[in-house]
Structure 1
Amino acid sequence: MKKLFLLVMALTLAACGQTPATREAEPAVAPQAGFPVTVTNCGRRLTFDQPPGKVVTGYHPALETLFALGLGDQVAGRTNFSESAFLPGHEELYDRIPEISPTIMLPQKEIMLAQGADFVLDNSMASFDAGGGYATVEELDAAGSPVYIMGGWCSPEETLAFTLEDTLTDLRNLGAIFGVPDRADRLIAELRGDLDDVRERVSGRPPVRVLATDGGKGPVNAYGGAGVTHQLITAAGGQNVLADVKADYTEVNPEAIAAAQPDAVLISEYATLRGEKKPTVEAKAADTLAVAANSPAAKDDRVLALPVAAQHPGYRNLLAVVDIARFLHPDAFTR
């Protein structure tokens, strides 16, 4: 395929000797500067008297976001990530952290509660469903393991309402929770600068008509005009050909795909999902271009592989905007 781009984004202090008959009360520990901190997430107010020190993360974009903030040493357990390439420098950090689940999901209730986490970071509610055998948000909160859901993905409706500003809000909140607000502010400023640069470069250029898909011949798994992927396309100077479909990930009939006439196609890229082997990018691209055989995208073989981790709330979202913009508007990045 001539234009296939592959996106590459750890105390106990024991006192020895005899205990005196009487002892003075120990002085209270002075509160850390900047604490307590309170943030709002999923309609809940979370208050922290000190930075978390034993964190468990769910699906990998949550862990990537902590890495981006320099907080990997606070993570005591993580889920498995084998869907797509690691961001530069992240794989060795990932390998140092104990794996508590062989899938992208958090472990089952008993195992999860046994972690003794003082903070749980994930980017959907799927790993907190009692019906699936998982510890609920309320059970973890009662156990002293408050849960933060990234991107405001707290309900199906809120998932559809996601904007890139939600990721920046997460960075600001996490910076406050972990006592590194200056670090978060610097990262946010850098990312805003990148977004502003993209906006300036693509300004005035005709938007490129984009189909974002996860493959399939009939129906086609595709991304409509709401949610993360739609936001990425729009910010990168594209026009989602399924913008009128008010859904994030949905099934679309082949006739609608053929009629959409995309100029370019984004293909979700991952190797495995919950242990299930998935079709390759090349195979999915071939299927999609066969459905849209008469489109400009098919004629030009214009396909970009988009890591599925970028299609969930997290730091990688903002990196993906730049890469998608370079793919859609290569001439805008010659200077």
Structure 2
Amino acid sequence: MRRLLVLLAALTLTACGQAPAVQESGPAAAPPAGFPVTIQNCGRTLTFDRPPAKVVTGYHPSLETLFALGLADRVAGRTNFSESAFLPGHRELYARIKEISPTIMLPQKEVMLAQGADFVLDNAMASFDAAGGYATVAELDAADSPVYILGGWCSPRETLEFTLEDTFTDLHNLGRIFGVPDRAAKLAAGLRAGLDDVRERIAGRPPVRVLATDGGRGPVNAYGGAGLTHQMITAAGGRNVLEDVEGDYTEVSAEQVSAAQPEAVLVSEYATLRGETTPSVRAKTADTFAVVRNSPAAADRRVLALPVAAQHPGYRNLLAIADIARFLHPGAFPA
């Protein structure tokens, strides 16, 4: 689990909420066209008789994926997003939605169950850990608040097995769940076209040796040869210098990182945590160049800040591949 999520899991929400008033139910309406819909997620079978109308989202990439599908009006509650990089047009949509947690984590159990959500979307299991005081997936299912985890990040093993195709699977699944399959297909087609454009532009160019890091001088927090960040580097025309290191987000000795001789560096950029600050990109870059001081990347001061939101499941990671490709192969993207 990412260091950011580990830090945030220790934070608790003390605000309280009230359960929605019980309303008398009338005759059951017939399911809309195309329903019921059945989806597999995290080894569970989810069946929807109608599109969700009162959604709660966890970490921001889940919310912005719904924004991309034109579903902002279905979201009744969201967590906080304090990172600087909102996608274009998203800050205004975000500001209109009720904040139910001051961190990226979902609120504590009682507050979460009181939301009365008919769908919960997140991209990691950290917010469903009973030991942390959170409502579990089973408890939310029992409360008719089914949970969908993006990217198949349902366990540490499945996080390592992530491929970019999982993002497309999520888009199509969400399109079916919300009754907008054509909208999802159009979004997916546009994203595939963007990836195809990158692939054509970088074809025949030698891969650039890339170190993806979250800082540290020893050990170094870095991204190994499995998972989402590794997939993004490869798709953007890079070669992960730690591709032989098992794991996704992991610790690597300074000696091994130094010996890798990267030509370019990606540094994770993320938020302020309720009065605490994570190391800045500038500080992490300084630490990294101190470790790889004899590398081509340090000599050229070649670094790109990569929002950590793009390193979690959600459609933003497909957009970020083009940004990384421009950084690695500027000649393939003339102005």
Normalised to the residue count of structure 2, the TM-score between the two structures is: 0.91
2:212 paired residue number: 212
2:280 paired residue number: 280
- Structure 1 position 272, deviation (Å): 1.7
Aligned AA (1:294):
N
Aligned-partner Cα distance in 1 for 2:96–2:154: 30
Q: Residues 27 and 101 of structure 1: is their aligned pair in 2 closer, same or farther, counting only changes over 3 Å?
A: closer
1:155 paired residue number: 155
SS at match of 1:255: helix
Q: Deviations over 1:277-313 (max 9, x none)?
A: 0111111111101110010000000000000000000
2:4 paired residue number: none
2:265 paired residue number: 265
2:317 paired residue number: 317
- What does residue range 94-133 of structure 1 map to in structure 2 within 5 Å? 94-133=94-133
Aligned AA (2:65):
T
- Structure 1 position 27, deviation (Å): 6.7
Question: C-alpha root-mean-square deviation of aligned residues, in Å?
Answer: 1.6
1:304 paired residue number: 304
Aligned AA (1:292):
V
For the 8 Å contact 1:38–1:47, the answer to whether it is kept is: yes
Aligned-partner Cα distance in 2 for 1:52–1:31: 12
Q: Percent identity?
A: 79
Q: Deviations over 1:106-156 (max 9, x none)?
A: 000000000000000000000000111100000000000000000000000
- Structure 1 position 270, deviation (Å): 1.3
Q: Deviations over 1:149-192 (max 9, x none)?
A: 00000000000000110011000000000000000000000000
2:57 paired residue number: 57
- What does residue range 134-149 of structure 1 map to in structure 2 within 5 Å? 134-149=134-149
Larger Rg: 1
2:233 paired residue number: 233
Q: Deviations over 1:224-251 (max 9, x none)?
A: 0111100100000000000001111111
Aligned-partner Cα distance in 1 for 2:333–2:294: 29
1:330 paired residue number: 330
1:4 paired residue number: none
For the 8 Å contact 1:58–1:105, the answer to whether it is kept is: yes
User: How many residue pairs end up in the alignment?
Assistant: 314
Aligned AA (1:60):
H
Aligned-partner Cα distance in 1 for 2:276–2:45: 37
Aligned-partner Cα distance in 2 for 1:226–1:278: 24
SS at match of 1:266: strand
For structure 2, list consecutive stretches of 5 or more residues without a partner in the other structure. Answer: 1-19
Normalised to the residue count of structure 1, the TM-score between the two structures is: 0.91
